Amino acid sequence: MAILAVEMPDKVPAKTEHKKVVALPVAVGERELRLDLFRGMALWLIFIDHLPPNILTWFTIRNYGFSDATEIFIFISGYTAAFVYSRAMEERGFTVATARILKRVWQIYVAHVFLFTIYLAEISYIATSFENPLYAEEMGILDFLKQPDVTIVQALLLRFRPVNMDVLPLYIVLMLFLPLILWLMRRRADLTLALSVLLYALTWEFDLYLTAYPNGFWAFNPYAWQLLFVFGAWCALGGAQRMSRILASRVTLWLSIAYLAFAFYVTMTWYIPQLNGYLPRWIESWMYPINKTDLDVLRFVHFLALAAVTVRFLPKDWPGLKSPWLRPVILCGQHSLEIFCLGVFLAFAGHFILAEVSGGAWMHFTISITGIIIMSAAAWVLSWYKREASKTGKRGKPADIEADADLAGGGP
C-alpha cells in the first residue's frame, strides 16, 4: 500500500475559503504530521495483521470495513511523491526530476532485494533448524528451496515474492511511471486522473494483470492500484483545494458516514452469521467477491469515505499531533521504509514463537505489543541518528530531495 516523508515546498497554494476543512498543504518549514501519523499507524496495523489472528487484530480497520492499511499507504505514497518531485520538476526540469525519481526507485529496489535475502534466510534457518517444512510452505518459499537458481532470477525480476512482500514491488512499478504522471499532471491534472480511471476500467473489463512466479498473478495489480496512487498525486497538486466545497458539504459528510456504517454492517456479517439474514440477497450477489487484488470499487469508495471524515474532523493544527503519546507512531511514519522491513522480520519471528512456544491469547497480545515497541524504538534510534548526522553536515546546505522521500510500503 507506500509512503514518503516530505519536507514542505517553499511555495504553497494560496489560501481558500475552505482551507480549514482540507488544509493539505502546510506552511514553510512545517511538516504534515497527519501523513506521518497515518503512515505509522498503518505500519502498526500491517504488522498486527501479518501475525496470526489475536486480540489486537480486532483493532485493525480491515475488520470494520472494506479497505485496510494498504489503501492508506498507496494514497499517501502518491500524494507525497507528487509533492516532493513536482517541486524538483518545477525547479530543475523534467530530466533532473526523472533522474532523482529513478535514483529513488533504485534505492527502493535495493531495499526490496535486501529484505528478500534476509527474510529468506530467516525462514530457511527456522525451517531447517526445527525440521518443520511447514514454515517454508506457509511463507511461500518452497519453490526457492527446490530451484534456488531460477527463483533468485525471478525474485530480481519482482515476479517471485514470499508472503508479506507484495507492496514494495507495487510501489517500484508505480514510481517508474511517476515522471510521466507528473509531466501530465502539471499540464492537465484532471485529464491525467481521467486517464487513470480509464486504465482502471480497462483492467476490470479486459482482466489486465502481471503474472507471478511460479504461477498466478501479482497480489496487488499495478494496473488497478495505480488509480489510488494517481488520485493521491492529483490531490497533492491542487485537486484537494478544488474539492474543498465538496468536502465541506454536510451532504458529503453524511453520505460518507452512511457508507461507512453500511460497510461496517457487511463486515460484521462475516463474523456474526445471524446478521446475514437482514442483508438482501441481491446486494450480496452484487457485492461479492470484493476483490482486493484489483482494488474493488467498494474498497476504493470506502477509503474515500474514511478520508473525507478524517480530513473533516482532524485538522492539520490538531494539538494531539504534538502529544508525546503519538510521538512513537509519528516517528515510525517518518522512517517508514526501514520500519516496514523490520516489521516483516518481526511478524515472522512472532509467527514462529506462537507456533513453537504458545499460541494463547496473552502470548499473542505480548508479541504484538513487543513488536510495536521494537518498531518504535528503532524509529527513535533512526531519528536520533538523522539529527546527529545533520549536525555534522554543512549548516544551511539544502537537504537532498531523496532524503525527504522515505517510502512507507507494506502489505497486509
For residue 12, tell me if it sits in a domain: no
Residue 243 CB neighbours (<10 A): 18
Q: Compute the distance between CA of residue 267 and CA of residue 269 in angstroms, rounded to an integer.
A: 5
pLDDT at residue 8, rounded to an integer: 35
Phi, psi of 211, deg, nearest 5? -80, 155
Nine-digit cell at 164? 508479506
pLDDT at residue 22, rounded to an integer: 36
Burial of 355 (0-12, 13-18, 19+ CB in 10 A): middle
Q: Compute the distance between CA of residue 355 and CA of residue 52 in angstroms, rounded to an integer.
A: 10
For residue 385, tell me if it sits in a domain: yes
For residue 6, tell me if it sits in a domain: no
pLDDT tens series, the chain, 412 aa: 333 333 333 333 343 333 333 334 433 345 678 889 998 999 999 899 888 877 788 888 999 999 999 899 899 889 989 988 998 999 999 999 999 999 999 999 999 999 998 888 888 888 777 777 777 777 777 777 788 888 899 999 999 988 888 989 999 999 999 999 999 999 999 999 999 999 999 999 999 999 999 888 999 999 999 999 999 999 999 998 899 899 999 999 999 999 999 999 999 999 898 888 888 889 988 999 999 999 999 999 999 999 999 999 998 888 889 999 999 999 999 898 899 989 988 988 888 888 777 777 888 889 999 999 999 999 999 999 988 887 776 554 544 444 444 443 333 3
Q: What type of residue sits at position 192? A: T
For residue 130, tell me if it sits in a domain: yes
For residue 411, tell me if it sits in a domain: no
pLDDT at residue 407, rounded to an integer: 41
Which residue range is the domain that position 229 belongs to? 19-404
For residue 131, tell me if it sits in a domain: yes
Phi, psi of 248, deg, nearest 5? -80, -10
User: Quick check: helix, strand or coil at residue 217?
Assistant: strand
Total count of domains within the chain? 1
For residue 4, tell me if it sits in a domain: no
Question: Is the bond leading into 214 cis (omega within 30 degrees of zero)?
Answer: yes
**pTM for this predicted structure:** 0.85
